[in-house]
Each structure stands twice: as structure tokens, then as C-alpha cells.
Amino acid sequence: MRVVEAVESVEIPEEIEADVDGRVITVKGEKGILTRDFSHAPVSILLDGDRVKIQTSWPRKREAALVGTVRSHIQNMITGVAKGFTYKLKIVFSHFPISVKIREKTAAIENFTGERSPRFARIMGDTRVTVKGEDVIVQGIDIEDVSQTAANIQRATKVKNKDPRVFLDGIYVYEKHEGMEE
């Protein structure tokens, strides 16, 4: 038997403002503003007091799952504008010291396994990247931009044509948490 309706809701804290225009949701908080368009998803998004309701009628399995996915995205937006997100990466090397330099929207990774030319990783959106000793700290309010930037930096130091169990040099994510450090 098929479910008649799939409904999920997200509670909006008092210090956060949310605005829904069709399937476009805007969330404003202490850290900034995030806007996301869910027009690709066959769901309806309604603002009901201090809750955002996501629902769909007569859903198939895929549409029912999409309700939960949209709910998670909205929850991440609320967490982002309230606290922010931080990913920490560790610079690991055995022989050649790796240096990371931030230039506008790219991170330049120099001297990776003794290479002459630097490797570059793209910094997404309004993400802030800082280098403190052996740590690279990626912070921002949009979890997708923060996680993609961290993944770009980690992927830029992928060891090719060598055994990755032996050549462990690289930059690796070792901590993820909500909240931004100053």
C-alpha cells in the first residue's frame, strides 16, 4: 500500500529568520544569509509559524526520500547561519616539506613530493581558508562549499603512479565540526 503523504518539518530557532518563496528558501542568521533553490525537487515547502514543512502527496519511493533530503539541506542552512562549519586538514610529509599558500580563490600547494610546479585547489564560494603551521583550516556558513573546498585541497595532493600505502604524503581531513573558530 502506498503512503498518501510524506511530511517532514524543521524547527526554526528564534534568532534565525526564514523566508519561503515557492521552492526558494532564504535563511538569515548571525553569520550571514543563505539562499537555496529547490525547484528541481517535486516537493512543496511551506512556512508554518516557527517551522518549515516539506511535503509531497502520493509519493513514490524516490519522492518520499527527497522530502528527507530537502529537510536535511534546510537544517544544514540553519546550522550554517547560526554556527558555521569548520573542517581541519593536516599537512603530512616524510621528506619534502609541503607549503600551502592561499591566493584569492585558490590554494597553491608547493613542493609536494619535491615537484617543481605547484598544485592548485579551488576555494568554493565565500569559504575562508587559513594555514596555521601543519593545519589548514576551512571555515564557512555553507556546508557544501566548505566540504567541497576541503575535498579539493585533499584531492590536489593525491599520489599518482606510486603505492599510496608507502607514500603517505598529502593533506588530509582529520576533523569536522559545527562552529567557527576566530
Percent of the chain, pLDDT > 70?
98
pLDDT at residue 25 in the model: 96
Q: Which residue has the cell 509559524?
A: 49
Whole-angstrom distance, CA of residue 71 vs CA of residue 6: 12
Give per-residue pLDDT as tens, 62-105: 999 999 999 999 999 999 999 999 999 999 999 899 999 999 99
- Position 3 pLDDT exceeds 80: no
Mean pLDDT, the chain, as a whole number? 93
Write down all domains in the chain, each with its CATH number in brackets.
5-82 (3.90.930.12), 85-178 (3.90.930.12)
* Alpha-carbon span 141 to 156, nearest angstrom: 23
pTM greater than 0.85: yes
The mean pLDDT value for 25-38 works out to 96
